[in-house]
Amino acid sequence: MKLGAVTRGVFTAFLALVVGAIVLELTGRDAVEVYRLLVEQSLLSPGALADTLLNATPLIFTGVATAIAFRAGVFNVGVEGSMYLGAFAAAWVGFTMTEWPPGLLIPAAFLAAGVIGALWAVLPGVARAYYGVDEVVSTLLLNYVATSFTGYLVSYPFLAPGAANAMSPLIAPGARLTRIAPPSQLNLSFVIALAVAVAAAVLIYRTTAGFALRAAGSNPRFAQSAGIDVRATIVMAMVVSGFIGGLGGAGQILGVNYRFIQGFSPGYGFDGITVALLVRNDPLGAILGALFFGALRNGGATIQLFADIPIDLIHVLQAAIILFVTVEPRVTGWFARWRQRPTKLSGTPLPVRE
């Protein structure tokens, strides 16, 4: 974990909380009391903490998936699509291969989800690397294709018998992930998400492929001159990003919903973008970023019910984080240049002492 990225992420989150406090005070609410309730309802009891970890789990998957693509200089906003298709693939394995033992069924469901998510990311990756197609546009459009296609699948050919809404049949009991803090729905997908984040960190910081990925993202021309195939690296980053997004979808189906439900994601893929930006695309930092947003979601939903605090406060905080993450590099660069400016004494420039 890069401490600099984490420190800057913490500072950015603090600034966002300050903005949220200002909004609360302007609307006649006590910001200190609201934040106290938020902490209490998200962290200060075993059940609240378990639900916060549950809310953070899909964001770890999508945050890491997005961070890997961003490291390669590719602005992938298509993790949501990979997540939807991966979720359906996991559900299909779960309600079709019902006779398989859990030790085989669960890995098969995760593998199917990851592979389908990865394949979905190949097209925009190749289009970006070899044809210069804007990946923001292509991945955003493909998200709608993925959600519409899976919606069709669970509305017609795979609609659960007797179901009024678009959903698949229930997966087999053997495909369901074990809960680790009942009665909370927190399950083993949280542990899998942590393992994925660690594996992604090893990939980025400890492997040749990770070096190529970082080089392609920071300076493509230098990477190309150093013998790195930048195009292949971009496609690889997209494929890995889609694979992890698919795993995130499988985690939700096998651990929480037990069937594919159209609209099961409230935007986990897009929230993953905020998580990745907050921690400057550090996979291990994404764990902390996801926990922060998991706490906001869990505590925010509770205080909305009992303290008349609108959930829109959480949206304000997310928007503030994106704003500060966008502005921070420019402000930091300006401040660094200001500190390094030459000083004059009798017309002679002197270096600034550190």
Which CATH code, of 1.10.3470, 3.30.420, 1.10.8, 1.20.1070, is assigned to 3-333? 1.10.3470
Residue 91, pLDDT > 90, answer: yes
Tens digits of residue pLDDT in 111-157:
999 999 999 999 999 999 999 999 999 999 999 999 999 999 999 99
Per cent of the chain over pLDDT 90 is 69
Average pLDDT over residues 169-196: 97
From 106-115, 134-143, 297-306, the region with the lowest mean pLDDT: 297-306
Per-residue pLDDT band for 354 (boundaries 50, 70, 90) equals very low
Average pLDDT over residues 167-188: 96
Q: Average pLDDT of the chain?
A: 90
Peptide bond into 183 cis (omega under 30): yes
Hey, is 262 helix, strand or coil? Answer: coil
Peptide bond into 46 cis (omega under 30): no
Of 95, 106, 115, nearest in space to 159 by CA: 95
The per-residue pLDDT for 164 is: 83
Q: How far apart are CA 264 and CA 225, in angstroms?
A: 45
Per-residue pLDDT band for 345 (boundaries 50, 70, 90) equals very low
Q: How far apart are CA 345 and CA 352, in angstroms?
A: 12
Question: What is the enclosing helix (H) or strand (E) of 349?
Answer: strand 348-350
Per-residue pLDDT band for 8 (boundaries 50, 70, 90) equals confident
The per-residue pLDDT for 11 is: 84
Residue 105, pLDDT > 80, answer: yes
326 against 22, higher pLDDT: 22
Q: How far apart are CA 287 and CA 274, in angstroms?
A: 13
Residue 348, pLDDT > 60, answer: no
Per cent of the chain over pLDDT 70 is 90
The per-residue pLDDT for 1 is: 63
Tens digits of residue pLDDT in 315-343:
787 788 778 877 766 555 555 566 666 65
Residue 190, pLDDT > 70, answer: yes
Query: Of all residues in the chain, what percent are helix, strand and coil, respectively (each to 5)?
Result: 75, 5, 25
Torsion of CA 152, 154, 156, 158, to 10 degrees: 140
Q: How far apart are CA 292 and CA 274, in angstroms?
A: 11
Of 354, 304, 279, 341, nearest in space to 56 by CA: 279
Average pLDDT over residues 278-305: 89
CB atoms closer than 10 angstroms to residue 14: 10
Per-residue pLDDT band for 47 (boundaries 50, 70, 90) equals very high
